[in-house]
Amino acid sequence: MKGKKLLIIILSLFVILVGYRITKVTLNKKNTKGEVAILPVEVVIITPTDYDETLNLTGTILAENQTEVPAKVPGKIIKYLFEEGDWVNKGQNVVTIDRDEIGVEFKEAVLDAPIAGWMTKKYFDTGTHVNPGQPLFQIADYHQVKLMVQVPEVEISRVKKGAVAKVSIDAWPDQQFTGWVSKLSPTVDNLSRTAKAEIAIRNPGLKIRPGMYARATVNIKRHLKGIVIPTTAILQREGATQIFVVEGGNAVARAVTVDIDLGETSSIKSGLALGEQLIVAGHHSLSNGSVVKVIGGK
């Protein structure tokens, strides 16, 4: 009796398994003959776009007007009349020196400020003996500053005086400062293969201080009515640079040539035309000819 029950159970399981396989095959046939999967995508319509070609440079901030004042006579420093951080007007007495020159009737000498600005550095303490030519103090006026940069030799022909620059400084991460190329050296350093350049920057609020590290994005060429797309829309597949466009409800793979990588966007030299629908989301799962449905974009 037990054997008969066991046989019935085995037969039942066999019937269930066979039914499952038949059902699966039937569904597969329906999927094969039925609708093709439609993939959702987002697109943008390609329109002419003006954009700037830029060059990224880094360097150190200096005061636009800055000087070191050296001792003119030998002697011992009697007194500094200003402290570091004090504003000094042009012509004001800054240091007095007890001269130790033989045969000098008036022993005390005074050094004046040649420019107006802040005393940014004192090089010696009171009582120190100094010789002519040794710098005693530094004065800087940083109402306007300059960023000192090195321009690679290959880029020199594209950087022009007056070119606008956007400057970023770590001390003010949420703010960009505007400057312009004010000087470009006519010579190239034979070791670094670079030329010195200065980017002038107005300094309202005196936020920028001499000695700060800064990054500048210099505009070197203005392009009009170009084709600019999100860089994320570009795919690298099997060594080719591709994008997808929508044509008649299908995704069509298109080889493109990138002219300039602008960061978040890229300008396209060939392979894409104005008015086309560029797929910008959902494209990673596409293949050439995939059926798509546009669900968003602009």
The predicted model gives 2-17 an average pLDDT of 49
Q: C-alpha 109: how far from its chain's center?
A: 51
User: What would the pLDDT profile of 61-71 be if each residue is shown by its tens digit?
Assistant: 999 999 999 99
Q: In whole angstroms, give the CA distance from residue 96 to residue 128.
A: 12
Quote the percentage of the chain above a pLDDT of 70: 86
Q: In whole angstroms, give the CA distance from residue 95 to residue 73.
A: 12
Residue identified by tokens 């620059």 is 165
User: What would the pLDDT profile of 106-165 be if each residue is shown by its tens digit?
Assistant: 678 899 999 999 999 999 999 999 999 999 999 999 999 999 999 999 999 999 999 999
Q: In whole angstroms, give the CA distance from residue 39 to residue 286.
A: 8
Length of the chain: 298
The percent of the chain in helix, strand and coil, each rounded to the nearest 5, is 15, 50, 30
Query: Which pair of tokens denotes residue 57?
Result: 């440079």
Examine the pLDDT at 3 and tell me if it is beyond 90. Answer: no
pTM of the predicted structure, to 2 decimals:
0.69
CATH number of the 67-140 domain: 2.40.50.100
Q: Where are the domains of the chain?
A: 54-61+142-224, 67-140, 227-297
Least confident interval from 49-53, 91-95, 169-173, 294-298: 294-298
Query: Which pair of tokens denotes residue 224?
Result: 């009009």
The predicted model gives 283-291 an average pLDDT of 92
> What does the DSSP 8-state code read for residue 162?
T
Query: Which pair of tokens denotes residue 28?
Result: 């597969």
Looking at domain 227-297, its CATH class is mainly beta
| pLDDT at residue number 100 | 78
Residue identified by tokens 């392009």 is 223
Q: C-alpha 143: how far from its chain's center?
A: 25
- Helix residue ranges per DSSP H, 70-173: none
User: What would the pLDDT profile of 232-272 be if each residue is shown by its tens digit?
Assistant: 999 998 889 999 999 999 999 999 999 999 889 999 999 99
Nearest to 251 by CA among 260, 243, 241: 243
Domain 54-61+142-224, CATH 2.40.30.170 — does that match?
Answer: yes
Q: Is 280 left (phi over 0), alpha (psi -120 to 50) or beta?
A: alpha
Nearest to 235 by CA among 269, 280, 297, 270: 280
Q: In whole angstroms, give the CA distance from residue 192 to residue 97.
A: 43
| pLDDT at residue number 14 | 47
In sign, the C-alpha dihedral spanning 42, 47, 50, 52 is positive
| pLDDT at residue number 204 | 84
CB 88 within 8 A of CB 139: yes
Q: In whole angstroms, give the CA distance from residue 249 to residue 271.
A: 19
pLDDT band at 104, cuts 50/70/90?
Answer: low
Nearest to 147 by CA among 223, 208, 89: 208
